[in-house]
Amino acid sequence: SARPSRRANNSIGPTAVAVRNYVKEKANLCQPDDIYLCDGSEEENKRFLEIMRRAGGIAKPLRKMDNCWLVRTDPADVARVESKTVISTADKRQTVPIPKEGVKGQLGNWMSPSDLQAALQDRFPGCMAGRAMYIIPFSMGPLTDSPYVVASMRIMTRMGRSALDAIQGDNYVKCLHSVGLPLKDISKPLVQNWPCNPSKILISHIPDRNEIASFGSGYGGNSLLGKNTCSFWASLIRAANKKYVAAAFPSACGKTNLAMLQPTLPGYKVECVGDDIAWMKFDADGSFARYQPEAGFFGVAPGTCSHTNPNAMRTIQSNTIFTNVGETGDGGVLLGGPGEGGFAWTPPLASPAGEARCGLRTAATRPPIRTRVSAPRPSQCPSMDRLGESRGVPISAVIFGGRPPAGVPLVFEANSWQHGVFIGASMRSEATAAASTRGKVIMHDPSPCARSSATTLLTTSTTG
């Protein structure tokens, strides 16, 4: 068997009783063959990557690069599915705006607790039959049956025993994920050997119970349950005057490029604390501080090259998981940057002709090309800020951004904090390939956090 045995790791030690009870409850519900507690070690990571390599080639090493792996997914599972992402609370009015009768709201999908319970009961019982359940304790643990999620969570979070030991009582967010495809239910070959159940996808948030449950999708935006908000922060240095800036952009709107900026103005330097998520609060001294909950980068690859983002290109040369990118004949990758030539899909993409373009979104599938890279150390990311990993940093400015096609100035400044809140709340942006929305739809995206408003509410309710 390619799965780790329950006997190989069957003790979770002096773990909080609430964690033990949660694991026992979900194991009885999902009926996995094995249960495995992840420790986050490099040895374990190598074992999981090998599991994916042996499991029909879900992951393959890129021989031209240092510890880099290529993963290809089912074309039906390549995007966040906002229409199937819900939040469940007793009072709808406290959760989402309620439009007039006959009008569908655009901010948040509410589901009653009884309807959600019925939907979860229709999906999760026995969903891990024939598979292993992996317990991932992480600092920001989900339970999942996907080795891909385990390997990605190790990159994106501070994962392992120390995170598990830090959980006291019931004050933690409980996350359950399944690809939704028991081995016994597989009746035909999987596309790219990628397990998923697109017709039954459901990503649910239950603030009253501090729970997230995701079913049917292995795509990172739906399955890496620590990744459900949108923000990044960078530090700008001019001589000895160092300032930190936080920004919130929708997907594929330039967060990573801005966070890893190389300034051309003399005397300026930009350092990166993170490129996606930031947590914000007022410190004891009243300063506005942000903290970096992630330990890696999660970027959209199309257009990335040495011209647009040289720091990113240097960072991804090692310890990276690439998803749905093109592979060169000598074992490298093509990201769809300017000037790149031909490539070969190995194996061929299982989709209609003309769709297998590295980094070039076609009208038929527009598959998001993702890279995931662990880079908490300055030695891997050349512009990494050395202080942001260990403590919060004071924020001097907040930037809201997006991709409105017309009618909005390229850059403008708020007149006051109140005006800035209004600007953030009224943001609209063109949909990107990272979402399931088709076409150039202009979407309301306040702050911009529309895709993760349920998780934002969940985080607020649990942390105060």
Q: What is the DSSP string of 35-61?
A: EEE----HHHHHHHHHHHHHTTSSEEE
Walk along the chain (464 residues) and give the pLDDT tens digit of each residue. 344 444 334 445 556 788 888 999 999 999 999 999 998 888 998 999 988 888 777 888 999 998 888 888 888 887 778 788 888 999 888 788 888 888 877 777 889 999 999 999 999 999 999 999 999 888 765 678 888 888 888 877 778 888 888 887 777 888 899 999 998 888 888 888 899 999 999 999 888 888 889 999 988 778 887 665 434 556 666 655 788 888 888 877 888 888 899 988 887 889 888 888 777 878 777 777 777 777 788 777 777 788 888 998 888 888 888 888 888 888 888 775 444 443 433 333 333 222 222 222 222 223 455 555 554 454 688 888 876 655 678 888 889 888 877 778 888 999 998 999 998 888 888 876 555 555 567 777 777 666 555 444 444 444 33
Q: Label residue 345 exposed, middle or buried (CB < 10 Å: 0-12, 13-18, 19+).
A: middle
Rounded to whole angstroms, the Cα distance separating 28 from 38 reads 19
SS3 category, 434: coil
Quick one: 171 exposed, middle or buried, by C-beta within 10 A (0-12, 13-18, 19+)? exposed
What are the tokens at 25? 């409850």
- In-domain check, residue 122: yes
Helical ranges in 193-278 per DSSP H: 220-223, 255-259
CB 176 within 8 A of CB 124: yes
The CATH number covering residue 109 comes to 3.40.449.10
Which residues are part of the catalytic machinery?
253
**Domain identity same for 280 and 181:** no
Q: How many structural domains does the chain have?
A: 2
Which of 198, 223, 248 corresponds to the end of one domain? 223
Are both 144 and 250 inside the same structural domain?
no
Which among 253, 295, 304, 254 has a CA at the least distance from the CA of 277? 295
Would you state the pLDDT for residue 12? 54
Give pLDDT, residue 341: 45
Structure tokens, 205? 């948030």
Both tokens of residue 315?
A: 């960072």
Structural domain includes residue 358:
no
Q: Are residues 209 and 259 in the same domain?
A: no
SS3 299: strand
Same domain for 272 and 400? yes
Q: Do residue 52 and residue 182 come from a single domain?
A: yes
Domain boundary among 206, 223, 240: 223
Classify residue 131: in a domain, yes or no: yes
Q: Hey, what are 412's tokens?
A: 């403008």
Phi, psi of 252 (to 5 degrees): 60, 30
pTM over 0.85: no
* Percent helix, strand and coil across the chain, each to the nearest 5: 25, 25, 55
Residue 176 domain flag: yes
Measured CA to CA, the distance from residue 6 to residue 10 in angstroms comes to 5
With 0-12 CB in 10 A as exposed, 13-18 as middle and 19+ as buried, what is 410? exposed
Residue that is last in its domain, among 223, 250, 265: 223
> Both 218 and 246 in a single domain?
no
Which residues form the domain of 157? 6-58+79-223
Check whether residue 282 and residue 418 sit in a common domain: yes
368 in any annotated domain: no
Report the CATH number that the domain containing residue 283 is assigned in CATH: 3.90.228.20
pLDDT of res. 6: 42
Q: Is 330 inside a domain boundary?
A: no
Residue 189 lies in a domain: yes
Structural contact between residues 112 and 87, judged by C-beta atoms closer than 8 angstroms? no
The four Cα atoms 51, 276, 436, 180 give a dihedral, to 10 degrees, of: 30
User: Cα 14 to chain center, whole Å?
Assistant: 30
Same domain for 152 and 26?
A: yes
Token pair of 332 as six digits: 């490298």
Q: Are residues 149 and 266 in the same domain?
A: no
The verdict on 138 and 120 lying in the same domain is: yes
Together in a domain, 246 and 209: no
SS3 288: strand
3-state secondary structure of 268: strand
Rounded-to-integer distance, Cα 359 and Cα 427, Å? 27
Assess if residue 431 is contained within a domain.
yes
Closest by CA position to 128, among listed 59, 197, 174: 197
251-142-203 Cα angle (round to 5): 50
Separation between Cα atoms, residue 210 and residue 204, nearest integer Å: 11
Q: What does the pLDDT read at residue 117?
A: 96
Q: What are the two backbone dihedrals, phi and then psi, of residue 47, each rounded to the nearest 5 degrees?
A: -65, -40
Contact 125, 145 (CB under 8 A): no
The Cα–Cα gap between 285 and 124 comes to 46
Residues 135 and 98 in one domain: yes
Rounded-to-integer distance, Cα 139 and Cα 294, Å: 8
**Which ranges of 254-353 would DSSP assign to H, the alpha helix?**
255-259, 310-315
pLDDT of residue 356: 25
